[in-house]
């Protein structure tokens, strides 16, 4: 696909973001396992999480959504999306530096606010330009819904900024703001944006996924309340939450089943078979996520799980690494942004191994925390896994081959 504004380079810049996220994760693991008196751990954590969301995942999804719409708009219209993608990445870097040095201060809040403004502008532009999509294009509504839910999620970090700057002592308000943001990011923006990207790589004769879109769209907001069952919701709201959760679970199971039945005998010639491992792994991780989400409708279990930090960390990494990051790598190969090679295959599979090991060790730590059982060398193991993820991320960037312009 020949466009004046080469999106491939912006996708590749996203890999540098992945390296930065992995570097910060490794630094945090090192500080926990060994002695490293420099840099404030809480500041590194905020920088790691915010940049992971904005500089890595959001950046790639913006690029993916732009790639979906570029064939149907003029080069002048394409330019505004490139400018917005560049501005978002620049603000993400500003957030990274500000959070690292100062934590929640005026500078980091300002950059956060700018990313929200960029998202609003991107959303308005995308909704306006969506009229140029062909009528049968399946990605349009997934993309717009994801962008809108990204705006909805902005209330979370804005609330956190208010809490931090005004030193508001209200733990439930703080926890609710965190879970609100997380939910509308990975169950909203990342999921719907990712599904818009999925829609663009499915065969044209793939069965319509429109009905699945409606199932996830109408349940996106109610399922938020799963995260705050500890707030003693009224019975009617709890019932709605349970129904929405069950709808999501069965919608996902049916989508995976019918999709697999359709694709299992269809030869996909645009990617090597080993790339399919990334898509299978991401789908499996997302199935685990929906299963855990459904189990958590039991209030006592939900309170227990959300009360243990190691389990929360394991769950977040399952979604952000196991689901979305693995899918993104597969997508980059599927879209021929990367040319498959032996070296890239090695780096990709090493990253996959790192993700699996990370989840296994975090799961061990989480279950041990439930029984208050100490696990010898658990922090050292987590640091070793972080090194694997960092090393493989660097290799992914270093081994990529020069491709033709997208």
How buried is 319 (Cβ within 10 angstroms: 0-12 exposed, 13-18 middle, 19+ buried)?
A: buried
Cα–Cα nearest to 61, from 14, 4, 116: 14
Contact predicate 388/357, CB 8 Å: yes
pLDDT by residue (tens digit) across 218-269? 999 999 998 888 778 899 999 999 999 999 999 999 999 888 877 776 655 5
Separation between Cα atoms, residue 213 and residue 210, nearest integer Å: 5
Q: Once rounded to an integer, what is the mean pLDDT over residues 307-335?
A: 89
- The answer to the question of residue 94 being in a domain is no
Residue of 376 and 388 predicted with greater confidence: 388
Which segment of 147-161, 275-289, 346-360 scores lowest on mean pLDDT?
147-161
Is the CA virtual torsion 59, 335, 217, 286 positive or negative? negative
Contact predicate 98/111, CB 8 Å: yes
- The answer to the question of residue 302 being in a domain is yes
pLDDT of 213 over the 80 cut:
yes
Number of neighbours of residue 140 by Cβ within 10 angstroms: 22
- The answer to the question of residue 262 being in a domain is no
Is the CA virtual torsion 236, 237, 240, 246 positive or negative? negative
Q: What is the pLDDT of residue 214?
A: 93
How buried is 368 (Cβ within 10 angstroms: 0-12 exposed, 13-18 middle, 19+ buried)?
A: middle
Categorize the per-residue pLDDT at 405 as very low, low, confident or very high, splitting at 50, 70 and 90.
very low
The whole-model pTM stands at 0.92
Which segment of 47-61, 106-120, 166-180, 381-395 scores lowest on mean pLDDT?
166-180
pLDDT by residue (tens digit) across 142-186? 999 999 999 999 998 888 777 777 777 677 788 888 889 999 999
- The answer to the question of residue 32 being in a domain is no
Residue 313 to residues 17, 126, 284, 286, 301, Cα–Cα distance (Å) = 20, 33, 19, 16, 17
- The answer to the question of residue 208 being in a domain is no
Tokens of 294: 């459904």
Separation between Cα atoms, residue 211 and residue 106, nearest integer Å: 44
Q: What is the pLDDT of residue 269?
A: 52
Residue 406 to residues 64, 270, 336, 391, Cα–Cα distance (Å) = 12, 15, 9, 28
pLDDT of 113 over the 80 cut:
yes
Name the region of 138 (left: φ>0; alpha: ψ -120 to 50; beta: rest).
Answer: alpha
pLDDT by residue (tens digit) across 368-386? 877 778 888 899 999 999 9
Q: Once rounded to an integer, what is the mean pLDDT over residues 104-118?
A: 91
- The answer to the question of residue 281 being in a domain is yes
Name the residue range of residue 400's domain: 268-406
pLDDT of 134 over the 50 cut:
yes
Q: Once rounded to an integer, what is the mean pLDDT over residues 319-332?
A: 95
Q: What is the pLDDT of residue 160?
A: 79
Separation between Cα atoms, residue 76 and residue 92, nearest integer Å: 25
Tokens of 70: 């570029």
Number of helical (H) and strand (E) elements in the chain, helices listed first: 17, 0
Which SS3 state, helix, strand or coil, does residue 145 take? helix
Q: What is the pLDDT of residue 265?
A: 67
Q: What is the pLDDT of residue 105?
A: 85
Q: What is the DSSP letter of 321?
A: I
Categorize the per-residue pLDDT at 1 as very low, low, confident or very high, splitting at 50, 70 and 90.
very low
Structural domains in the chain (count)? 1
pLDDT by residue (tens digit) across 80-98? 999 999 999 999 999 999 9
How buried is 135 (Cβ within 10 angstroms: 0-12 exposed, 13-18 middle, 19+ buried)?
A: exposed
Cβ neighbours for 127, distance < 8 A, ≥ 6 positions apart: 144, 147
Separation between Cα atoms, residue 158 and residue 244, nearest integer Å: 27
Cβ neighbours for 257, distance < 8 A, ≥ 6 positions apart: none
Q: Once rounded to an integer, what is the mean pLDDT over residues 274-280?
A: 90
Average of per-residue pLDDT values in the chain: 88
Tokens of 385: 């896994």
pLDDT by residue (tens digit) across 2-13? 444 588 899 999
- The answer to the question of residue 374 being in a domain is yes
- The answer to the question of residue 221 being in a domain is no
Residue of 403 and 185 predicted with greater confidence: 185
Q: What is the pLDDT of residue 303?
A: 64
């Amino acid at each position: 696909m020949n466009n004046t504004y080469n999106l491939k380079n912006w996708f590749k810049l996203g890999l540098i973001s992945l390296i930065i996220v992995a570097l910060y994760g490794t630094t945090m693991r090192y500080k926990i396992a060994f002695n490293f008196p420099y840099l404030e751990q809480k500041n590194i954590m905020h920088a790691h999480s915010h940049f992971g969301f904005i500089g890595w995942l959001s950046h790639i999804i913006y690029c993916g959504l732009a790639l979906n719409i570029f064939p149907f708009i003029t080069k002048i219209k394409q330019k505004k999306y490139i400018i917005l993608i560049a501005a978002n990445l620049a603000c993400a870097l500003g957030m990274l530096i500000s959070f690292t040095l100062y934590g929640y201060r005026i500078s980091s809040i300002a950059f956060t606010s700018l990313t929200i403004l960029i998202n609003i502008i991107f959303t308005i532009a995308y909704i306006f330009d969506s009229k140029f999509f062909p009528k049968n294009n399946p990605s349009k509504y997934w993309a717009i819904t994801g962008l809108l839910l990204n705006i909805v999620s902005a209330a979370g970090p804005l609330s956190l900024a208010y809490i931090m700057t005004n030193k508001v002592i209200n733990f439930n308000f703080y926890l609710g703001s965190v879970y609100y943001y997380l939910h509308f990011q990975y169950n909203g923006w990342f999921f719907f944006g990712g599904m818009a990207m999925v829609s663009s790589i499915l065969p044209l004769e793939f069965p319509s996924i429109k009905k699945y879109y409606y199932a996830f769209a109408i349940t996106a907001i109610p399922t938020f309340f799963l995260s705050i069952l500890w707030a003693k919701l009224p019975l009617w709201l709890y019932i709605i939450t349970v129904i929405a959760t069950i709808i999501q679970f069965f919608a996902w199971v049916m989508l995976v089943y019918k999709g697999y039945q359709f694709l299992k005998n269809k030869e996909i010639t645009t990617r090597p078979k080993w790339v399919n491992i990334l898509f299978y792994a991401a789908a499996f991780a997302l199935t685990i996520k929906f299963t855990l989400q459904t189990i958590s409708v039991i209030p006592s279990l939900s309170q227990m799980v959300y009360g243990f930090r190691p389990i929360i960390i394991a769950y977040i990494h399952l979604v952000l690494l196991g689901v979305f990051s693995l899918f993104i790598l597969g997508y980059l190969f599927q879209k021929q942004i990367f040319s498959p090679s032996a070296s890239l295959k090695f780096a990709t599979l090493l990253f996959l191994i790192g993700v699996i090991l990370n989840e296994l060790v975090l799961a061990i730590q989480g279950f041990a925390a439930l029984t208050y059982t100490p696990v010898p060398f658990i922090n050292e193991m987590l640091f070793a896994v972080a090194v694997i993820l960092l090393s493989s991320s660097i290799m992914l960037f270093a081994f990529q081959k020069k491709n033709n312009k997208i």
